[in-house]
Structure 1
Amino acid sequence: MTGKELKGNPVDAIAFEWVARSDRAPLHDAERAALKAWLEQDVRHRGAFIRARALWASAERLAAFQGMSSSPVSLPCVPLPVTRPLAASVSRRETRLTTGRRSFVRMAIAAGMAGMALVPGSPAEAARVYQARDGLMHLHDAHWGDILLDQGALLRVREGRGQPCLDLLEGQVHLIAGNTDMQLNMNGLSLVLPRAASLMAHAGSGESDALVMAGNISARCAGERTGRLLHACDWIRYDHRHVSIKKVSRNDIDRLTAWSRGLLEFRSVEVVSAIAQINRYNARKIALKNSRLGGERISGVFSLNDPEAFARVLGEIFGAEILMSSGGITLR
Structure 2
Amino acid sequence: MSEVEPAAKIDEDAAEWAVKRETHSADPAFVAELDAWLAADSRRVGALLRAEAALSYLNRGRALAGGQPDVAPRVGRRKLLIGGAIAALAASVGGLALLLPQEQSIGTMMGEVRKVPLSDGSLVAVNTSSEVVVALTPETRKLSLVKGEAWFKVAHDTQRPFVVEAGPVRVRALGTAFSVRRNESGADVLVTEGTVETWAVGEENHRIKLSAGNKAVLGMGRPPQAVAANDQIENELAWRNGEIVLYGQTLADAAAEFNRYNARKVVISDPQLAAETMVGRFNADEPEAFAHAAALATGARVTQTDSTLQLTRNPSR
Aligned pair 1:164/2:144, yes or no? no
Q: What are the superposed Cα offsets for residues 52-108 of structure 1, whole Å, 9 maximum, x if unpaired?
A: xxxxxxxxxxxxxxxxxxxxx979xxxxxxxxxxxxxxxxxxxxxxxxxxxxxxxxx
> In structure 2, what is the Cα distance between the partners aligned to 1:190 and 1:258?
24
Moved over 6 A (4+): 289-292
> Residues 142-221 of structure 1: matches in 2 within 5 Å?
143-161=120-138, 163-178=140-155, 180=157, 182-195=162-175, 197-219=176-198, 221=200
SS in 1 for 2:147: strand
Aligned pair 1:304/2:284, yes or no? yes
> In structure 2, what is the Cα distance between the partners aligned to 1:329 and 1:285?
6
Of residues 223, 238, 243 in structure 2, which corresponds to 1:258?
238
Q: Report which of the two has the higher share of helix.
A: 2
> Residues 67-78 of structure 1: matches in 2 within 5 Å?
none
Quote the sequence identity (%). 18
Root-mean-square deviation (CA, aligned residues, Å) is: 3.6
Deviation at 1:164, TM superposition (A): 2.9
Aligned pair 1:232/2:208, yes or no? no
Q: For 1:318, give the aligned amino acid.
A: T
SS in 2 for 1:313: helix
> Residues 11-160 of structure 1: matches in 2 within 5 Å?
127-141=103-117, 143-160=120-137
Deviation at 1:226, TM superposition (A): 9.7
Deviation at 1:199, TM superposition (A): 0.6
CA 1:247/1:325 → structure 2, altered by over 3 Å: closer, same or farther? closer
CA 1:317/1:177 → structure 2, altered by over 3 Å: closer, same or farther? same
Structure 1 contact 144–182 (Cα < 8 Å) conserved:
no
Q: TM-score with structure 1 length normalisation?
A: 0.52
Q: For 1:131, give the aligned amino acid.
A: G
Q: What are the superposed Cα offsets for residues 178-234 of structure 1, whole Å, 9 maximum, x if unpaired?
A: 354632122343333255x10111233332342221113344553537965442233
Structure 1 contact 128–157 (Cα < 8 Å) conserved:
yes
Deviation at 1:282, TM superposition (A): 0.8
Structure 1 contact 186–203 (Cα < 8 Å) conserved:
yes
> In structure 1, what is the Cα distance between the partners aligned to 2:183 and 2:271?
31
Structure 1 contact 144–164 (Cα < 8 Å) conserved:
no
CA 1:277/1:231 → structure 2, altered by over 3 Å: closer, same or farther? closer
Deviation at 1:293, TM superposition (A): 4.2
CA 1:187/1:276 → structure 2, altered by over 3 Å: closer, same or farther? closer
SS in 1 for 2:149: strand
Q: What are the superposed Cα offsets for residues 148-169 of structure 1, whole Å, 9 maximum, x if unpaired?
A: 2233333221122264310123
Runs (5+) with no aligned partner, structure 2: 1-55, 59-99, 313-317
Structure 1 contact 269–299 (Cα < 8 Å) conserved:
yes
Structure 2 contact 208–224 (Cα < 8 Å) conserved:
no
SS in 2 for 1:244: coil
> In structure 2, what is the Cα distance between the partners aligned to 1:268 and 1:190?
30
